[in-house]
Amino acid sequence: MLMKIVIIEDDLRIVEMIAMALYIRWPNIKVISTRFGEEGIEIVSNENPDAVVLDLGLPDIDGLSVLKAIRRYSDLPVLILTVRAIESDIVQGLELGADDYMVKPFKQLELLARLHGMIKRHQKSDDGEIISTGSIQLNTLTRILELGSKEIILTSTECRLMRHFIFNAGKIVTIPSLAEVLWGDNYLGAANAMRVYIRRLREKLEEDLKNPRFIITKPGIGYILIKNNIKMPNN
CATH code of the domain in which 148 resides: 1.10.10.10
Three-state secondary structure string covering 97-108:
CCCEEEECCCCH
Residue 92 placed within a domain: yes
How many domains in the chain? 2
Please give the angle made by the CA atoms of 165, 142 and 158, to the nearest 5 degrees.
35
Max mean pLDDT range (33-47, 82-96, 103-117, 206-220):
33-47
Q: In which band, very low, low, confident or very high, does the pLDDT at 216 lie, cut at 50, 70 and 90?
A: very high
Q: Look at 8 and 76; give whichever has higher pLDDT.
A: 8
- Return phi, psi of residue 54, to 5°: -125, 125
- Residue range(s) defining the domain that contains residue 219: 130-225
- Return phi, psi of residue 6, to 5°: -105, 130
27 plus 112 within the same structural domain: yes
Q: Considering 74, 101, 123, which residue would you say is the last residue of a domain?
A: 123
Q: Is 53 helix (H, G, I), strand (E, B) or coil?
A: strand
102 plus 42 within the same structural domain: yes
115 plus 15 within the same structural domain: yes
Which residues, including other chains, have CB under 8 Å from residue 71's CB and lie 6 or more apart?
A: 96, 97
Residue 158 has pLDDT above 50, yes or no: yes
Q: Is 48 helix (H, G, I), strand (E, B) or coil?
A: coil
CA distance 5 to 112: 12
96 plus 188 within the same structural domain: no
CA distance 204 to 152: 7
68 plus 175 within the same structural domain: no
